[in-house]
Amino acid sequence: MILLAIGLVMFGVFAARFHTDRRRLGNGVFLLLGALFAGVSLVTAAGEGMLRLLAVVMIVLSPVAVLTLAGLLVGNGVQMVAREGLRIPNVLSLGAGLVLLVPYVLLVTAVVAESIWIAVGAASVTLAIGYFGLSLIAFLVYAFLYGRLGYQPGMDAIVVHGAGLDGGRVPPLLASRLDRALAVFRSEFDSGRSPVVVTSGGKGPDEEVSEALAMSTYLVDNGLPPEAVVHEDRSTNTNENLLFTKELLNDRGGSTRMVLVTSNFHILRTAILARRLELDAEVVGARTAYYYLPSAVLREFVGLIVEYKWINTTACLALLALPPLVVLTVGVPWVSAH
């Protein structure tokens, strides 16, 4: 009953925070904690036999699941490099897959070398990976939920975030965002409203024109009235997209309630940035090619880990230090300590 009560409290905190502002990363953490405590409570209530069965299943299936996931990530990383080129963002899934293999390599090494400290290292790495794994699950669950909430109609502006050009051409990833923006505009227009569409993105060193100009040309060519488009052509990243768009809309006067259009993997991080900048904004996502999603999601997750770096660094260091402290304090028998 205690675990169930804790789970219900976590769900309550999630509901209160969600009602206050759904653009918060911590919402996903409380939602996951509520589900974990409630789930453990239900399994415990099922009796000792169920607990033993679950333990056996976890012991057998966990390594299989982790190794399978590692293989899929490595395969996706190879595919990303083959399709998109050898760049850091494109090897994230490959790197994540290899990291998942580290505890197993250390464990096998510890058994072969009969070394307690290598085993301790494996335990430390496993705890750290577990922490980031649970954080990633919370991120994925809440990003999935947030992406299906939609937005409240009645927007004054529809802001489309840039995603890079292929010379002067709009690539598929950016075209998907623009198509979603067109759908949002038509929905608003059919309801009797005339929001302005802001194309946001500057000109990169390898681009023939600014992203904003190429995006507006695409929109007009696909039926958007030219007078409905406004360019924001100075930004180079999402944070600048939001800042410069805020300035642009403030200069135009009137209300600045907006919907931000980006790719589905980028919605939660964009929402968090918009909240930090105190924008009256909601976010909708456009579809992304499936092969591109693992690396893109990991890139978003790494970005959020860096933004909350002090919390994550402290937690990670504490977990890394825990197994050595246990061994030094309690002591663990081993065949041969090295």
pLDDT (0 to 100) of residue 337? 45
pLDDT (0 to 100) of residue 293? 86
CATH superfamily name and code, 157-289: HUPs (3.40.50.620)
Residue 254's φ and ψ, nearest 5 degrees, are 80, -170
Tokens of 198: 């802001």
pLDDT (0 to 100) of residue 310? 92
Residue ranges per domain, the chain? 157-289
Of 95, 251, 108, 238, residue with least CA distance to 177: 238
Length reported for the chain: 338
pLDDT (0 to 100) of residue 164? 79
pLDDT (0 to 100) of residue 336? 43
Q: State how beta strands 281-286 and 196-200 pair.
A: unpaired
- Cβ-based burial of 87 (10 A; exposed 0-12, middle 13-18, buried ≥19): exposed
Q: How far apart are CA 261 and CA 180, in angstroms?
A: 7
pLDDT (0 to 100) of residue 335? 43
Asked if 297 contacts 265 with a C-beta cutoff of 8 angstroms, the reply is: yes
pLDDT (0 to 100) of residue 190? 85
Task: Write out the chain's pLDDT in tens, 338 residues.
Answer: 788 899 999 999 999 999 988 888 899 999 999 998 888 888 777 666 666 766 666 666 677 777 888 888 888 888 888 887 777 777 888 888 898 888 888 888 888 887 888 888 889 998 999 899 889 999 999 998 988 887 778 888 999 998 878 777 888 889 999 999 999 999 888 888 888 999 988 887 777 888 889 999 999 999 899 999 998 888 888 888 898 888 888 888 766 788 999 999 999 999 999 998 888 888 999 988 888 888 888 889 988 898 888 999 999 999 999 999 988 888 665 544 44
Report the 3 state secondary structure along the chain. CHHHHHHHHHHHHHHHHHHHCCCCCHHHHHHHHHHHHHHHHHHHHCCHHHHHHHHHHHHHHHHHHHHHHHHHHHHHHHHHHHHHCCCHHHHHHHHHHHHHHHHHHHHHHHHHHCCHHHHHHHHHHHHHHHHHHHHHHHHHHHHHHHHCCCCCCCCCEEEEECCCCECCECCHHHHHHHHHHHHHHHHHHHCCCCCEEEEECCCCCCCCCCHHHHHHHHHHHCCCCHHHEEEECCCCCHHHHHHHHHHHHHHHCCCCCEEEEEEHHHHHHHHHHHHHCCCCEEEEEECCCHHHHHHHHHHHHHHHHHHCHHHHHHHHHHHHHHHHHHHHHHCCCCCCCC
